[in-house]
A and B are shown apart, each in its own frame.
Chain A
Amino acid sequence: MRKKHGSAEDEVEVDLTPMLDIVFIMLIFFIVTATFVKESGINVAKPNENDTPPPPDAKPKTVALTVTEDCWVRLQGRRIDPGQVAPNVQRLVAERPGAPGIITIEGDAQTGCVTEVMDQMLIGGAAGVSLRAVEY
């Protein structure tokens, strides 16, 4: 038992190597598994089934249109081109500000048509879009 002189001068060194090994392995694992999701899209909601239907004489609070199987849009009884939805929706939204859009998909209408109409509705100023389907 040798009495230590000047023990304050002796630096107590912790061996960092094992920790470094672990940290590096974790780092490499997280770098390798890192996936940066690049998803973009439009948020959709399905109108709730249990929503109470508005009384028939009340002013409609939504902009509802139908996408037909042959990729046309039916809006208030008129047949319009999917590319012309935005100005029509804009006019309807001006009458009822903050109205969300509801798209009814008829039969086998293609996704491409439906998404174009969704896009057009949002361009026209509808506050969100929801989808529902009907049997043909």
Chain B
Amino acid sequence: MAIRKVEEKEEINMTPMLDIVFIMLIFFIVTATFVKETGIDVDKPLAEMAEENKLANILVAVSGDGEIWVEGRPVELGALQSVIARLYAENPKGAMSIQADKDAPGRHIVDVITEAKEAGLQDISVSLDQP
């Protein structure tokens, strides 16, 4: 009897674990968004009417002295349109969020919006913190 027991393989039933692992895998694949951070931390203004924007994954930052940052490096206004067009092509469902510093000149936001519209983007928002 004892000898027989050694021969029998003690198999753990893997099926429930596999189910869970697959569900987790699918969840993370579906929710995966590859965001390219802008590279600078801006002091965002507060606004009561700010709404959560889950689709925003094209991020453009405007620093306090009016520099435009995308993908971790500063970008000249003249080159911004092609950069945004490339990001938009990688992410056709994406929306753009402009992270402008409190002290940045407001007209730079308009410049960024103009370039983004030229690049074909429609869903553009200004990033604001909820109080």
Contacts and interface: CB of A to CB of B under 8 A. Distances in A.
Given A16-B14, A37-B54, A42 B102 contact: no
A77 B112 CA distance: 29
A36 B56 CA distance: 11
Interface string A15-45: 0100010011011001101111111111111
Given A37-B35, A112-B102, A119 B107 contact: no
16 contacts: A26-B29, A30-B28, A33-B32, A37-B33, A37-B56, A40-B51, A44-B126, A110-B102, A111-B104, A111-B108, A115-B47, A118-B47, A119-B47, A119-B49, A122-B49, A131-B113
Interface stretch (B67-75, B81-89, B117-125): B117-125
Interface of B is mostly: mixed
Contacts of A39: 52-54, 56, 59, 97, 125, 127
> What size tier do the contact residues of chain A reach?
35 or more
A122 B128 CA distance: 14
Contact of A109 (B25, B47, B105): B105
Interface of A: 16, 20, 23-24, 26-27, 30-31, 33-46, 67, 105, 107-116, 118-119, 122-123, 131-133
B3 interface: no
Interface string B93-108: 0000110111111111
A41 B100 CA distance: 11
A115 B22 CA distance: 44
Contacts of A118: 47, 49, 126
